[in-house]
Amino acid sequence: MAKNLLIVESPAKAKTIEKILGSDFQVKSCFGHIRDLEKDDMGIDIGNNYQPTYIVPQDKEKIVSELKKIARSSDEVWLATDEDREGEAISWHLCEVLKLDPLLTKRIVFHEITRPAIESAVKNPRRVDMNLVQAQQARRILDRIVGFELSPVLWRKMSMKNSLSAGRVQSVAVRLIVEREREIQAFQTVASFKLEAWFSAADRQGKLISFKAIGPSRLAQVDDAEKFLQSCLGASYTVQDIQIKPSKKSPAAPFTTSTLQQEASRKLGYSVSRTMLLAQKLYESGKISYMRTDSVNLSDTAMDDICEAIRGSYGQQYIQQRRFKNKNESAQEAHEAIRPTYMADPSAGDADTRRLYELIWKRTIASQMSDAELEKTIARILISTNKEELTATGEVLKFDGFLKAYQEEEEDEDEGKGEDQKEGMLPVLTIGQVLDFKEMTATERFSRAAPRYTEASLVKKLEELGIGRPSTYAPTISTIQKRNYVEKKDREGVLRKYRILVLQGGKLTSREETELTGAEKSKLFPTDLGILVTGFLSEHFDSVMDYGFTARIEGEFDEIASGRKVWNRMIDEFYQPFHADVENTLEHAEKVSGERPLGNDPISGRPMVARMGRYGPMVQIGIANEEEKPRFAKLKANQSIETITLMEALELFRLPRMVGKFEDKDVVINIGRFGPYAQHDGTFYSLKKDMDPYTVDLSTIGPLILEKRAARENKTIRLFEAEKIQVLRGPYGPYIKQGTKNFRIPKESQDAAPNLTLEDCQAIIKKAKDNPPKRKGFRKTKKAFRDQS
DNA sequence: CAGTGAGCGAGCTTCCGCTTGACTT
């Protein structure tokens, strides 16, 4: 038995550290937080200075009892959780659970898993920092209060039934998307004309190449553009001035969680959750350092390793060591940047994992490489017939530097960027040279609204605002989609006409062309629900919904951490006004349904509205209390309460729809809880994605019925009719169905499913009933509790 | 599980931040 027990958060780290520390230490991991606030009564005694009640969640009981056991038989327990607010709190909870005195227990920290870092940490133990622990406790309690007081307000005041939620992070994330959408809707496109002239001249080898010069400024009206081109009729063009400017580009810092998610999205098209899943695999197999980090720092050993790799792959002249500073104020820097464990390690795993590894490898190596050196040439060209001048710009790469390994992907955030930037080489020009003119064009261009967020650009924005942490970006993005506040969608673009005026061969002509605009891929759109909930929360809880709220309270947490503020006083200052808003809203706010009048139904003359119903967005004909009952119809997936027209709404009432007879029985089409379906002979058949319930006919439904019927028969492996027992093929392999209940077949019998006898099946069912599956979650539900007693 | 949408009221839901597997019908 080892004398010392050392506890870290992550099991993968535990293994590495144990190797470094040798036989004196047994290193175990606690898998993150081991206690959390109880859920009943929020786990906070509001009237008693916000005293928290902590419990060990059910899924942590096992690890806690194991740690207790080992701690008892060890001489000394060392706490080596991460060096940030959460890590400090985990250490304190470990003290509480393992009955250690936080004032006496050794607490050590390191930011990198290297032998020198760990050996020096062990030589310099400190104690648990109770101020920091209290700052974490304040953070935890505030988040619980916000979440558990706001969510119930939504349950009461919103007109839909699903389990709505609100929180400090998720509600602001949704707000960003809702407001971006508003901006885009309100955006007024402005057209202008961009001037470009084409010339040709000889390059160094004497070969003629053509190059472009751009006009002095954009012209607002087509008349202005025409006038300008006209004024250039018969002009000659002379090089007036040439400027040569050296410039350089520097590599980006190594990856943090947020920048990795952004680049993997831009370069590889991965969702943030996919990136994190693959990164986790790489981390667990020892390929990369820890993947949830906000630090751009690299350890000294890593820097040496990287320089060695640069020397080997590119040569000494490509090395330029750099230390990057974090621009982010909210960063806690408990870990290193994300980097390969060993630069010499080749990539491995499946294609997707490999691509992510290579991205990390290249970004890491580039971060320690030389600047790229460029030479920019700017030539001013005079027009003889007017006072304007044109500018031709060329860029030449003198030394590639880090660009040899890695180039950061451009972001398409701002409008107009990119178009004028693709600069190539200019031919050799001399001052006074008269250029060979080919043509001049004025092309109509349009201003663009800010782009919709992608998952990754939303993460970037949240990080800038200091909202959320590396471990929560991906889960937050999932939550707001799962709650149906936000949808990730593609949108087809529309064709738009634009004009081009051309001056060529002494003649001015004009033509019209079309381009695709507004096409979107994997962008985040707010749903009607998201819009409605955000509007409600912003109206009644503006302080929490403020983009600066998190930054402000983080400042207060810092004051608690430095001992200048008492945690429960800070909570009280927040809680009093916040709770008053909650009470006030519960008492006075109207129920919200987002109702929007559409006009009158031309047949019945009754009023029609679009609004949020209990089961989602819908349109309604008539009013509830009238003699004739109202009629209802659900909105289609791509429609919204804010934009649906009377005509579109009337269309929706064409369901349910009889499309004819199949095998002498009626076929009726409708939309139900689980989407569009056909009903035939008492059986339901879900329509496929490409089948439109409003237009589909018997020629599509007939084959669908036959196909689903065949699939159903194919699903049955064995059938014991008398006992109502079936062996069926399911998405997770074969399973047994008795009446309406399903039973899992043990792994060892799965291959033998086609040969299972009735007795085999009954044995499996009996065994399953005797050993009910364990419930997951923090505590047993009340229902499960009742059922037991 | 598949024609809901009012209102009543039982019983339910809900947060953020640390960590990984367990396990699905």
pLDDT digits (tens, 9 = 90+) for A206-218: 899 999 999 988 8
pLDDT averaged over chain A? Answer: 90
Model confidence band, residue A577 (pLDDT cutoffs 50, 70, 90): very high
Q: Tell me the mean pLDDT in the region A440-449.
A: 97
The values of phi and psi at residue A508, to 5°, are: -105, 120
The amino acid occupying position A615 is Y
Find out whether A675 and A686 touch, Cβ atoms under 8 Å. yes
In angstroms, the CA A295 to CA A299 distance is 11
pLDDT at A410 over 80: no
**Residue A663 vs residues A657, A658, A758: alpha-carbon distances, Å:** 18, 14, 35
Using alpha carbons, select from A272, A241, A252 the residue that is nearest to residue A380: A241
Structure tokens at A270: 């991965």
* SS3 at position A292: coil
Q: Report the pLDDT value the prediction gives residue A1, as an integer from 0 to 100.
A: 61
**Nearest nucleic acid nucleotide to A467, CA to C1' distance:** B16
Pairing mode of beta strands A106-107, A76-79: parallel
Q: Is A283 a catalytic residue?
A: no
The better pLDDT of the pair A235, A749 is held by: A235
Model confidence band, residue A176 (pLDDT cutoffs 50, 70, 90): very high
Model confidence band, residue A527 (pLDDT cutoffs 50, 70, 90): very high
Q: How far: A740 CA to B1 C1' (Å)?
A: 12
**Nearest nucleic acid nucleotide to A611, CA to C1' distance:** B5
pLDDT at A788 over 60: no
Q: Report the pLDDT value the prediction gives residue A348, as an integer from 0 to 100.
A: 76
Q: Report the pLDDT value the prediction gives residue A162, as an integer from 0 to 100.
A: 78
Of A102-116, A169-183, A369-383, A401-415, the least confident:
A401-415
The residues that bridge with A549 in the sheet, in sequence order, are: none
Q: How far: A769 CA to B20 C1' (Å)?
A: 29
Structure tokens at A119: 């050996």
Within 7 A of a protein CB, which nucleotides of strand B?
Answer: 1-6, 11-21, 23-25
Q: Tell me the mean pLDDT in the region A512-522.
A: 96
The amino acid occupying position A314 is Y
The better pLDDT of the pair A327, A771 is held by: A327
DSSP letters, A623-688, are -TTSSSPPEEEEPPTT--TTT--HHHHHHHTT-SEEEEEETTEEEEEEEETTEEEEEETTEEEEPP
pLDDT tens column, A96-114: 999 999 999 999 999 999 9
Provide the percentage of residues in chain A whose pLDDT is more than 70: 95
CA A763 to chain centre: 46
Q: Report the pLDDT value the prediction gives residue A55, as an integer from 0 to 100.
A: 97
Alpha-helical (H) ranges within A158-211 are 170-186
In angstroms, the CA A463 to CA A453 distance is 14
Q: Tell me the mean pLDDT in the region A584-611.
A: 92
**Nearest nucleic acid nucleotide to A150, CA to C1' distance:** B14
Q: Tell me the mean pLDDT in the region A384-402.
A: 95
Q: Tell me the mean pLDDT in the region A5-21.
A: 96
Q: Report the pLDDT value the prediction gives residue A143, as an integer from 0 to 100.
A: 98
Of A14-28, A409-423, A565-579, A770-784, the least confident:
A770-784
Q: Report the pLDDT value the prediction gives residue A555, as an integer from 0 to 100.
A: 97
In angstroms, the CA A279 to CA A357 distance is 8
Q: Pick the catalytic residue: A50, A237, A283, A290? A: A290
Q: Report the pLDDT value the prediction gives residue A13, as an integer from 0 to 100.
A: 94
Q: How far: A152 CA to B8 C1' (Å)?
A: 19
Residue nearest to nucleotide B24 (CA to C1'): A732
Of A394-408, A450-464, A583-597, A696-710, the least confident:
A696-710
Count the Cβ atoms, other than its own, within 10 Å of residue A380. 16
Model confidence band, residue A568 (pLDDT cutoffs 50, 70, 90): very high
SS (H, E, C) A22-59: HHHEEEEECCCCCCEECCHHHHEEHHHCCEECEECCHH
pLDDT at A185 over 90: yes
Question: Which residues are within 8 A (CB) of A484 and not within 5 positions of it... i.e. 6 or more apart?
Answer: A162, A527, A529, A530
The better pLDDT of the pair A744, A306 is held by: A306
Q: How far: A138 CA to B8 C1' (Å)?
A: 40
Residue nearest to nucleotide B22 (CA to C1'): A776
* SS3 at position A691: coil
pLDDT at A506 over 60: yes
Q: Report the pLDDT value the prediction gives residue A411, as an integer from 0 to 100.
A: 66
Residue nearest to nucleotide B12 (CA to C1'): A163
Q: Tell me the mean pLDDT in the region A127-142.
A: 98
**Nearest nucleic acid nucleotide to A335, CA to C1' distance:** B18
Model confidence band, residue A412 (pLDDT cutoffs 50, 70, 90): low
In angstroms, the CA A498 to CA A207 distance is 35
| Total number of residues shown for chain A | 789
Residue nearest to nucleotide B20 (CA to C1'): A31
Q: Report the pLDDT value the prediction gives residue A716, as an integer from 0 to 100.
A: 76
pLDDT at A420 over 70: no
The residues that bridge with A389 in the sheet, in sequence order, are: A382
pLDDT at A270 over 60: yes
Provide the percentage of residues in chain A whose pLDDT is more than 90: 72
Q: How far: A211 CA to B10 C1' (Å)?
A: 77
The amino acid occupying position A480 is I
Q: Tell me the mean pLDDT in the region A454-474.
A: 98
Find out whether A172 and A549 touch, Cβ atoms under 8 Å. yes
**Nearest nucleic acid nucleotide to A773, CA to C1' distance:** B23
**Residue A615 vs residues A151, A532, A598: alpha-carbon distances, Å:** 18, 14, 20
**Nearest nucleic acid nucleotide to A674, CA to C1' distance:** B2
Measured over the CA atoms of residue A522, residue A526, residue A528 and residue A529, the dihedral's sign is positive
Q: Tell me the mean pLDDT in the region A224-229.
A: 96
Using alpha carbons, select from A378, A389, A451, A449 the residue that is nearest to residue A420: A378
> If 0-12 CB within 10 Å is exposed, 13-18 middle and 19+ buried, where does residue A657 land?
middle
pLDDT tens column, A727-746: 877 766 777 877 767 777 77
Of A120-129, A436-445, A689-698, the least confident:
A689-698
The better pLDDT of the pair A24, A347 is held by: A24
Q: Tell me the mean pLDDT in the region A701-718.
A: 80
pLDDT at A415 over 50: no
**Nearest nucleic acid nucleotide to A476, CA to C1' distance:** B16
Question: Which residues are within 8 A (CB) of A669 and not within 5 positions of it... i.e. 6 or more apart?
Answer: A655, A656, A657, A658, A659, A676, A677, A678, A679, A687, A693, A696, A701
**Residue A349 vs residues A201, A267, A358, A569, A636: alpha-carbon distances, Å:** 52, 19, 11, 52, 42
> If 0-12 CB within 10 Å is exposed, 13-18 middle and 19+ buried, where does residue A720 land?
middle
pLDDT at A328 over 80: yes
Q: How far: A511 CA to B24 C1' (Å)?
A: 61
Q: How far: A279 CA to B23 C1' (Å)?
A: 22
Q: How far: A742 CA to B23 C1' (Å)?
A: 15
Residue nearest to nucleotide B6 (CA to C1'): A624
Q: How far: A146 CA to B13 C1' (Å)?
A: 15
**Nearest nucleic acid nucleotide to A745, CA to C1' distance:** B25
Q: Report the pLDDT value the prediction gives residue A773, as an integer from 0 to 100.
A: 53
The values of phi and psi at residue A582, to 5°, are: -60, -50
* SS3 at position A698: helix
User: What own/partner pairs with CB < 8 Å and gap ≥ 24 does A754-762 have?
Assistant: A754/A717, A754/A718, A754/A727, A756/A718, A756/A727, A758/A720, A758/A723, A758/A725, A761/A718, A761/A720, A761/A725, A761/A727, A761/A736, A762/A723, A762/A725
Q: How far: A17 CA to B17 C1' (Å)?
A: 24
In angstroms, the CA A143 to CA A169 distance is 9
pLDDT at A682 over 90: no
Structure tokens at A743: 């039973």
In angstroms, the CA A232 to CA A200 distance is 17
Q: Tell me the mean pLDDT in the region A69-77.
A: 96
Q: Report the pLDDT value the prediction gives residue A774, as an integer from 0 to 100.
A: 46
In angstroms, the CA A359 to CA A381 distance is 43
Q: Tell me the mean pLDDT in the region A592-621.
A: 91
Model confidence band, residue A771 (pLDDT cutoffs 50, 70, 90): low
Model confidence band, residue A584 (pLDDT cutoffs 50, 70, 90): very high
pLDDT at A618 over 70: yes
Count the Cβ atoms, other than its own, within 10 Å of residue A341. 17
